[in-house]
Amino acid sequence: MSEEKIKDLEAWFEARIANEEKIEPKDWMPEKYRQTHIRQMSQHAHSEIVGMLPEGNWITRAPSLRRKVALLAKVQDEAGHGLYLYSATETLGISREEMIEQLHSGKAKYSSIFNYPTISWADIGAIGWLVDGAAIINQVALCGTSFGPYARAMVRICKEESFHQRQGYEIMLTLARGSNEQKAMAQDALNRWWWPSLMMFGPRDEDSPNTAQSMKWKLKRKSNDELRQQFIDQTVPQADLIDLKIPDPDLKWNEERGHYDFGPIDWEEFWQVVKGHGPCNKERLAARKNAWANGEWVRDAALAYSEKQKSKELNKAS
Amino acid sequence: MKKDWPLWEVFVRSKNGLEHRHFGSLHAADAQMALENARDVYTRRNEGVSIWVVESKHITASNPENNPEMFEPAKDKVYRHPTFYKLPDEIKHM
Ligand SMILES: [Fe+2]
Ligand SMILES: [Fe+2]
């Protein structure tokens, strides 16, 4: 294709998106659009899958059967989210196997939040409340994104997320209204998860060079800082209600702005975790690689069985 | 052996009286496993009463590049729509 022809196609493509049209897998698309979507969607899928690990840690030790079935259902939902997103990404021409290899080699990232440990039961509450809460804000913004399969996966995911956040907040509320030890446990979990949750929205706007392009393709509707502010504004009153203290001495309501002001985020910590030096990066990746390697014989056996069944049927027919 | 399980497309009837609708896709070694996985992945909250799975490679899709010759011929056939026919106002329901 000539360069001029590609320019024309690109202009037509951008106009379609500006016009609220959806792009479907077989439509013509600029290579950069394809690559950006493969990267973002596969990383989103990996986050759902790796995200099962910190919570899975507590399934066998949930304090009651009610909590256990809820956590099990929540973690199972996250597996489902990973699967919706992997298959949506495959429509762009990358195989499942390739995506998994990219995760294992470190070429593809997943959300850094899952590199923090879950050391007490209250962490399960904090994750549902804060981590799923932050994820919902990001994901609601993506329901109207331009790539059809991604948008459809997001709509499904958002429907399922709200129970995740509610079950987390309910855990925090129960602990916060319990014994002194239980309350201290809830406060400790909030102390540890608050800042990493704020980092989930990504770097400050001035350090986020892709924003303009992402806005055009509707991969973003609002900037990182806007979404972060929205999260803080919605979460502070929820903490107040259960009498837990947000671990930020600079946090205070700003009447003029109509938002909470908050203290500086430790971006050095953020980049360290992104680069692989968080508390659990090695453990998470090792768990995924082991699961893949240990499952290989199962995958192979299932395929061999299906091939055998097929040839049996052929023999019967002849 | 290194090989992805085949890809399947999943169609779900959400309740009797409605058609099966495309819900998404998944990998499975065979049809039975595709049905079982589809139940777990796509109907965890009573989203369906019936599931169809078909291996993706058996689907023939139209090419969006041919959309003009595929779909545009229908566009100018306004006489296929009831509003094309002008009737007196006295005729209320027709
Ligand atoms: Fe999720
Ligand atoms: Fe979730």
Question: What's the 3-state SS for A43-58?
Answer: HHHHHHHHCHHHHHCC
B94 confidence band (pLDDT: 50, 70, 90): confident
Mean pLDDT of A97-107: 96
User: Which segment of A61-65, A80-84, B24-28, B67-71 scores lowest on mean pLDDT?
Assistant: B67-71
Q: Which two tokens stand for residue B34?
A: 């595709």
Contact A146, A218 (CB under 8 A): yes
Contact A200, A123 (CB under 8 A): no
Report how far ligand 1's centroid is from the alpha carbon of A52 (Å): 9
Position B92 scores a pLDDT of: 87
CA separation for the pair A170, A185 (Å, rounded): 14
Please write the tens of the pLDDT for every residue from A28-86: 999 999 999 999 999 999 999 999 999 999 999 999 999 999 999 999 999 999 999 99
Contact A58, A118 (CB under 8 A): yes
In percent, how much of chain A has pLDDT > 70? 100
- Is the Cβ of A263 closer than 8 Å to some Cβ of chain B? no
Q: Which residues pair with A259 in a beta bridge?
A: A254
Contact A89, A47 (CB under 8 A): no
CB-proximal residues (5 Å) to ion ligand 1: A 48, 78, 81
| Residue A318 in this model has a pLDDT that exceeds 60 | yes
| Residue A173 in this model has a pLDDT that exceeds 80 | yes
pTM of the predicted model, to two decimals? Answer: 0.93
Position A1 scores a pLDDT of: 72
CB contact under 8 A, B41 and A83: yes
Position A221 scores a pLDDT of: 87
Q: Which two tokens stand for residue A85?
A: 């997103």
Question: Which amino acid would we find at residue A36?
Answer: T
In percent, how much of chain A has pLDDT > 90? 91
| Nearest by CB: B30 against A26, A300, A306 | A306
Position A313 scores a pLDDT of: 87
Q: Which residues of B3-22 are buried (b: 16+ CB within 10 A; e: fewer)?
A: eebbbbbbbbbbeeeeeeee
Q: Please list every residue in chain A whose beta carbon sits closer than 8 Å to the beta carbon of residue B2.
A: 97
Contact B51, B10 (CB under 8 A): yes
| Residue A21 in this model has a pLDDT that exceeds 80 | yes
Contact A10, A135 (CB under 8 A): no
CB contact under 8 A, A26 and B63: yes
Position B2 scores a pLDDT of: 61
Question: Which amino acid would we find at residue A277?
Answer: H
- Of the candidates A35, A44, A242, A23, the one whose C-alpha atom is nearest the C-alpha of residue A138 is A44
Position A307 scores a pLDDT of: 92
Whether the predicted interface score ipTM is above 0.85:
yes
| Residue A264 in this model has a pLDDT that exceeds 70 | yes
- Is the Cβ of A293 closer than 8 Å to some Cβ of chain B? no
By residue count, chain A amounts to: 318
CA dihedral A224, A165, B11, B41 (to 10 degrees): 110
User: Any idea what DSSP says for residue B65?
Assistant: G
Q: Please list every residue in chain B whose beta carbon sits closer than 8 Å to the beta carbon of residue A303.
A: 1, 3, 5, 29
Please write the tens of the pLDDT for every residue from A124-153: 999 999 999 999 999 999 999 999 999 999
Q: Which residues of A216-244 are buried (b: 16+ CB within 10 A; e: fewer)?
A: ebbbbebbbbebbbbbbeebbebbeebeb
Q: Please list every residue in chain A whose beta carbon sits closer than 8 Å to the beta carbon of residue B33.
A: 302, 306
CA separation for the pair B29, A82 (Å, rounded): 19
| Residue A279 in this model has a pLDDT that exceeds 80 | yes
User: Which segment of A70-79, A248-257, B42-51, B67-76 scores lowest on mean pLDDT?
Assistant: B67-76
- Of the candidates B35, B30, B53, B51, the one whose C-alpha atom is nearest the C-alpha of residue A311 is B30
| Residue A296 in this model has a pLDDT that exceeds 80 | yes
User: Any idea what DSSP says for residue A146?
Assistant: S
| Residue A278 in this model has a pLDDT that exceeds 60 | yes
Q: Which helix (DSSP H) or strand (DSSP E) does residue B52 occupy? A: strand B50-55
Position A210 scores a pLDDT of: 77
A314 confidence band (pLDDT: 50, 70, 90): confident
A94: closest chain B residue by CA: B4
* DSSP helix/strand/coil, B21: strand
- Show which of residues 66-105 on chain A sit within 8 Å of chain B, judged by CB atoms: 73, 76-77, 80, 83-84, 87-88, 90, 95-97
CA separation for the pair A77, A164 (Å, rounded): 9
